[in-house]
Amino acid sequence: MSKGFRMAVLVKQVPDTSSVAGVNPDGTVDRARAKKMMNPYDKYALQKALEIKSAYGGEIIVISMGPPPAIDILYEALEYGADKGYLLTDKQLAASDTLSTAYALYNVIQFLGKVDIVFTGLQTTDGDTAQTGPQIAERLDIPQVTYCEELEINNGRVRASRVIEGGKQWLDLPLPCLITVANSAGKIGHKRFANVYKMKELLRDKESLSKMVFVVSLADIGADPNLTGLAGSPTVVGKTWKLGEIGGSCVMFKGESPAHEVELLVNRLIENHCGIEELLK
């Protein structure tokens, strides 16, 4: 067991935003067709864990729940400097909503034993609910900081800043805790050359890879299958649809000063009967 902090970072594989995901006729997202990538917000979470590891030492375990190809983002996280990865994959998990996703991921964390800090991204680019992290903290019964930007640890206590409207809020909390990392926190650096030996080892020898990345099922981690997948998901999606082309055009107002530009804009809104007259009364 290494010195420092034992950290779990949750990473999700999402459809690559540069590819066409599309929507199936039944309204579900056509995930199979889309290229995949690590949820971009999760890279901020991984970066925060890497910063804590480089400042205080410790171990970073990345966790993902998803179908077998999601293992690729665990390898990617190792390239950035994570130490180990766990993929929770199980047919029973299909159609999980956030409640059941949080339950499943909570069980992986419990399975790992003592964890000092759980990091998650702020939200995902597909589900986009930002619910998973807070729900896991509730299940683990540990304090949480959402929208975290800065983080330091002194004498076993965490001091963390979170983004709030118009400023920052500083919180002081004990370990263990869960942190959802804001996308205004530091961007992840390059894949680490320090890890080149680790990567060489991985590429050369499948056996060493099997000591760093583990694939587990619900039975392996002792999770109740009735609380996962469709069975454990009270959310019902009413309807989803693909947005059509969004029309419209952009008009730039060039004036002698910002005040003049605002005046030109307001006049145009009045001309176009945009309802601004009501607001100006």
- Interface residues with ligand FAD (CB under 6 A) are 10-12, 39, 41-42, 45, 63-66, 94-98, 101, 105, 120-121, 123-124, 126-133, 233, 235, 237
Classify each residue of 89-112 as buried b or exposed e, where b means 16 or more C-beta atoms within 10 Å of its C-beta: bbebbeebbbbbbbbbbbbbbebb
| Smallest distance from ligand FAD to CB 120, Å | 3
d(CA 112, CA 173): 22
Helices (H), ranges, the chain: 40-56, 71-80, 98-112, 132-140, 196-204, 206-209, 218-221, 258-271, 276-280
Q: Is 112 in a helix, a strand, or coil?
A: helix
State in angstroms the smallest separation of the CB of 156 from ligand FAD: 25
For the bound state, the minimum distance from the C-beta of residue 87 to ligand FAD, rounded and expressed in Å, comes to 9
Q: Tell me how many degrees the CA angle 43-152-162 measures, rounded to the nearest 5.
A: 65
Beta strands 177-181 and 117-121: pairing type? parallel
Q: How far is the CB of 191 from ligand FAD (least distance, A)?
A: 19
Place of tokens 């180990």: 84
**Least distance in angstroms from the C-beta of 257 to ligand FAD:** 42
Q: Quick one: 5 or 147, whose CB is closer to ligand FAD?
A: 147
Largest Cα–Cα distance of the chain, in whole Å? Answer: 74
Task: Report the residue number whose CB is nearest to ligand FAD.
Answer: 127
The C-alpha atoms of residue 212 and residue 199 are separated, in whole angstroms, by 11
The nearer residue to ligand FAD, 158 or 178, going by C-beta atoms, is: 178
Min separation Cβ 129 and ligand FAD, Å: 3
**Contact call for residues 221 and 108 (beta carbons, < 8 A):** yes
Q: Are strands 157-164 and 167-174 parallel, antiparallel or unpaired?
A: antiparallel
Query: Closest CB to ligand FAD among 99 and 202?
Result: 99
Please report how close the Cβ of residue 260 comes to ligand FAD at its closest, in angstroms: 43
Residue 47 or 96 with smaller CB distance to ligand FAD: 96
Nearer to ligand FAD, 24 or 169 (CB): 24
Q: Which is nearer to ligand FAD, 156 or 234 (CB)?
A: 234
Specify the residue, 2 or 240, whose C-beta has the smaller distance to ligand FAD: 240
Cβ pair 146, 181 in contact under 8 A: no
